[in-house]
Amino acid sequence: MSVQVRPKRLSVTQIRQRKGGDKLVCLTAYTASVARLIDREVDLLLVGDSLAMTVYGFDSTLPVTLGMMIAHGAGVVRSTEHALITVDLPFGSYQASPEQAFHAAARVLAETGCAAVKLEGGEEMAATVAFLAQRGVPVMGHVGLTPQSVNALGGYRSRGHAPGEHDKIMRDGIAIAEAGAFSLVIEGTAESLARELTAVVAVPTIGIGGSPACDGQILVIDDMLGLFTEFTPRFVKRYRNLGDDIRQAARDYAEEVRHGRFPAPEHTYETPGRAKNAAE
């Protein structure tokens, strides 16, 4: 009898232990089909609230609901078995109080099967991170450019170039790490700031527009595949231009349908024993 041993998923503890070690490879994923393809290539998949823009066509992450995050999170968990899955808590589901955050996080963990949640914010969210961490909810922090605060920040510009802003983001990252987050996303900051923050916090930092010195990197999958082309932030590297491939595939299909070349005989169901011209 052969016993099949299923590979185990990476755990929060294993990710946490990668501080200063092998770089953590992270991507966002929103759908079962894509998550299944990339699961084995990465350490962590984030079901990011960036799906508001990439999947739903909103112009910010603010309209995403907890229900949307749960539906996508569950699909990604079901179709993967290697990467640690983290799901974003959406805007408005956690900022009011630690208790509100706990209820949202508990739903996400229970209804998706994911291992961790991510939330945005610095010093002002530290008590919430501690509240969750002490109650069994692994939390990934997110500081620097925090897209859920786009209205307060006045846009998506990179952060931490002025001395006051630099010091504030340093305090934010340190507060979230010390509150018990298992990792920390640093988005859209001065490179030197991300480097400095990585050096002082005890948990792995994950850069996106951060620094090569971060303990890991994350990109939005639609950006790196060339599927989302409305705008391209400086920190995006495009590894493929799948948008062009998809457009061309649709053109080829349209051409074949219009000229009667699709479907061909191999794409239709012939009744057995009934040759095409039998009745003639």
Length of the chain: 280
In degrees and rounded to multiples of 5, residue 189 shows phi and psi of -125, 170
List the catalytic residue out of 187, 191, 256, 270.
187
Residue 259 phi/psi, 5-degree rounding, is: -100, 10
Residue with tokens 């092998």: 22
The H or E element containing residue 44 is strand 44-47
Q: For residue 88, what are the β-bridge partners? A: 118
* Interstrand relation of 24-28 and 44-47 (parallel, antiparallel or unpaired): parallel
Q: Judge contact between 96 and 55, C-beta under 8 A.
A: no
Number of other CB atoms surrounding residue 234 within 10 Å: 8
Residue 207 CB, nearest distance to ligand KIV (Å)? 10
Q: Would you say 224 or 242 has its CB closer to ligand KIV?
A: 224
If the CB atoms of residues 99 and 124 are measured against ligand KIV, the closer one turns out to be: 124
Least distance in Å: CB of 202 to ligand KIV? 20
- Closest to ligand KIV by CB, 28 vs 179, is 28
Q: Where do contacts with ligand KIV occur on this chain (CB under 6 A)? A: 28, 46, 48-50, 88, 142, 185, 187, 208, 218, 220
Closest CA to 145 of 233, 68, 65, 80: 233
CB of 120 to ligand KIV, least distance (A): 8
Question: Closest approach of Cβ 116 to ligand KIV, in Å?
Answer: 13
> Catalytic annotation on 187?
yes
Active site residues: 187
